[in-house]
């Protein structure tokens, strides 16, 4: 929202908190998928989608934010849509059950 409203970059603290929270959640999901026998297939699909979103976030942070360059709006929107899709698939797999 910050980028779409015209600011070239979000505040550094917000980018770091967002990345840390997302990485923590992704780490927990990776742990569960690797160490649990009965993980639904959709949860594994969600993990793949969320890894794509994380890669997009890393590209934005390392390639643009740290260099002081404006984040590309299409990349910002794509990152958000991919992450939201992965989260929705994960929730669907949870409510659907094994």
pLDDT digits (tens, 9 = 90+) for 49-62: 999 999 999 999 99
Q: According to the model, what pLDDT value does residue 13 have?
A: 98
pLDDT at 42 over 80: yes
Q: Are 19 and 61 in contact (CB under 8 A)?
A: yes
Query: Distance between CA 72 and CA 39 in Å, rounded?
Result: 36
Query: Distance between CA 64 and CA 50 in Å, rounded?
Result: 20
Global pTM exceeds 0.85:
yes
Average pLDDT, the chain: 96
């Amino acid at each position: 929202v910050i980028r779409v409203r015209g600011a070239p970059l979000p505040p550094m603290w917000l980018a770091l908190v967002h990345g840390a929270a997302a990485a923590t959640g992704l780490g927990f999901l990776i742990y569960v998928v690797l160490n649990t026998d009965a993980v639904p297939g959709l949860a594994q699909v969600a993990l793949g989608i969320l890894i794509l979103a994380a890669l997009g976030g890393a590209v934005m942070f390392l390639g643009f934010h740290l260099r002081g360059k404006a984040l590309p709006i299409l990349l910002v929107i794509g990152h958000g849509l991919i992450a939201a899709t992965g989260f929705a698939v994960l929730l669907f797999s949870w409510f659907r059950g094994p």
